[in-house]
Structure 1
Amino acid sequence: MTKSQTPKDHPRIYLFGDSLTERACFESDNGFAWKLEEYYEGRVEVVNEGVQTARSLRTSFERYIVKVIEDRGPPAPLFITIFLGANDACLLSNGPYVPLSEFEAHIRHYVDSILDHPGTQGTKIILITPPPIDVPSPGLEPADDLPEVADVMQSLAKLGRGYKTWESKRTFAKKIVQIGKEYEAKTEQVAVLDFWTAITKIACKEMDGTPEGDFDELDLKDRLPGSGLPGAGEFGKEYFTDGLHFGKKGYEVLTRELFALLLAKWPELERQNFPLRVSVQSQYVPKVTMR
């Protein structure tokens, strides 16, 4: 979390999520927390509350978001990002680490709490989908001229833990999009960023030099990057350093997409709308455990 040294009436932004949020504070990675800090420097404080999973964060949300906002008093936070699912969607022997229905309940609790709390009236909420993972390619080209062989290769690859985890992440991402669109239809305070699709489309374009529209064709052929299926490419370490956590390109894409959504939907959040105050840098305190 961030140790604040700013006055209580200083405008603030809260970043709520898992280790992908926690690690987003480094200039070397172009992390979105660092870029927000740079963009709003001297005007708005950025509070990074990246920890672990939707389940484990339930208590942290009450303690580090709701309680802090109550103790601080007005003004309400400008916006809060909720970026979860990367850990929750990881597979155990009996299914995802956090069941999808439970994950959905946690996300809705966070959004409803912000919308309903008297201390966050007017606070904007950005839901960010979990990203894909980068499953190593099997090194096999699909046997397109031998349909039966191709089907067997595809079926075997889909039995692997890597592909199943990739598919689980996609399912959780779709759930965030569904939840986000429901809230978008009800209030102007909520926006959803489909980061899973955005980064996958960009990777498709970079690897093949094809227009982003070919994402649908590759999806139909089961060849989206990171899936680990025959003929599918990999994102590479510039996107995912270990298959899960972002490299510099991964954070660059997220930062670009986040700023584009934020300032297009809510131009009132542009930095020039906030007076320059005493410059106080937020102090990011890394957690001992990184997931």
Structure 2
Amino acid sequence: MIFFGANDAALPLSGQHVPLQTYKDNLRLMVDRIQDPLSENYSPNTRILLITPPPIGDKMWEETCRRYHHPVDRVNAVTKGYADTVTEVALEKNVPVVDLYGAIEGLVTMNRLKNPLVKAVADGSVDTSRKEHVFGLLTDIASPYDGYEMYLADGLHLNRNGNKLLARLILTKVMSEWPELRPIV
């Protein structure tokens, strides 16, 4: 498994930042070292699984950075580019990918849309002529961190639910790609 990118996707002000093209080149190099018969690290029986970085919960991460008097050095919009790059490299190199970024984003959006008031506003069944009232209600009902707290501990690192989700995604992908590795239950 190759799973990195959350630190690489840090903004340039951070010492952890890796430019997106360098990140992409590094991913390609790692896969090539295992897949290329001319590589000294060639390992034809090694199975490669790429994993996208998780999203950043912007509000949570901003709060975490403020708490520790650090500048905000990551934003979700930038991390998305790194996650997309992992998917591109996986397609290019014909290796499977676990889209952790997409899974969490999808779950956060789905949970947000399950909220009856959010759904009613989105589908137009609530009179929004008094927007200040409707959005006041939405603010009261909505999660303070947009739902990312369900999967992230501090806006960057996975919490227990996030790790469980990642484990399920990996197991599902392994069983679909390499059924011979299916665990015996």
Please tell me the root mean square deviation across aligned C-alpha atoms, in Å.
2.9
Unaligned runs of 5+ in 1: 1-80, 138-160, 185-189, 218-230, 273-291
Deviation at 1:232, TM superposition (A): 9.4
**Structure 1 or 2: more strand by fraction:** 1
Report how many residues are paired: 146
Percent identity at matched positions?
31
**Residue number in structure 1 paired with 2:100:** 195
Summarize deviations over 1:210-260 as a string: whole Å, max 9, x none.
7xxx9xx9xxxxxxxxxxxxx995234341111111111111111111111
1:91 and 2:14 aligned: no
Match for 1:103: what amino acid?
A: Y
Distance 1:252 1:245 in 2: 13
**Distance verdict in 2 for CA 1:260–1:250, change over 3 Å:** same
**Residue number in structure 1 paired with 2:87:** 177
**Distance verdict in 2 for CA 1:235–1:96, change over 3 Å:** farther
Summarize deviations over 1:145-181 as a string: whole Å, max 9, x none.
xxxxxxxxxxxxxxxx869721110000011111111
Distance 1:93 1:261 in 2: 35
- Structure showing greater relative contact order (alpha-carbon pairs closer than 8 Å, 6 or more residues apart): 1
Give the alignment partner of residue 122 of structure 1, picking from 42, 45, 55. 45
Q: 3-state DSSP class of the match of 2:6?
A: coil
**Structure 1 or 2: more helix by fraction:** 2
**Distance verdict in 2 for CA 1:165–1:202, change over 3 Å:** same
**1:48-63 aligned within 5 A:** none
Q: 3-state DSSP class of the match of 1:249?
A: helix
**Distance verdict in 2 for CA 1:241–1:233, change over 3 Å:** closer
1:167 and 2:63 aligned: no
**Residue number in structure 2 paired with 1:104:** 24
Summarize deviations over 1:77-102 as a string: whole Å, max 9, x none.
xxxx0001100001123998100111
Q: 3-state DSSP class of the match of 1:136?
A: helix
Match for 2:161: what amino acid?
A: K
Match for 1:170: what amino acid?
A: K
Match for 1:107: what amino acid?
A: L
**Residue number in structure 2 paired with 1:134:** 57
Contact 1:135–1:163 (CA under 8 A) maintained in structure 2: no
Unaligned runs of 5+ in 2: 61-70, 123-142
Distance 2:20 2:42 in 1: 29
Contact 1:96–1:168 (CA under 8 A) maintained in structure 2: no
**Distance verdict in 2 for CA 1:95–1:178, change over 3 Å:** farther
Contact 2:14–2:73 (CA under 8 A) maintained in structure 1: no
**Distance verdict in 2 for CA 1:108–1:124, change over 3 Å:** same
Contact 2:151–2:160 (CA under 8 A) maintained in structure 1: yes
Q: 3-state DSSP class of the match of 2:109?
A: helix
Distance 1:209 1:162 in 2: 30
Q: TM-score, normalising length from structure 1?
A: 0.45
Give the alignment partner of residue 162 of structure 2, picking from 235, 245, 250. 250
Contact 1:239–1:247 (CA under 8 A) maintained in structure 2: yes
Q: 3-state DSSP class of the match of 1:208?
A: helix
Q: 3-state DSSP class of the match of 2:149?
A: coil
Match for 2:87: what amino acid?
A: V
Contact 1:134–1:236 (CA under 8 A) maintained in structure 2: yes
Contact 2:149–2:155 (CA under 8 A) maintained in structure 1: yes
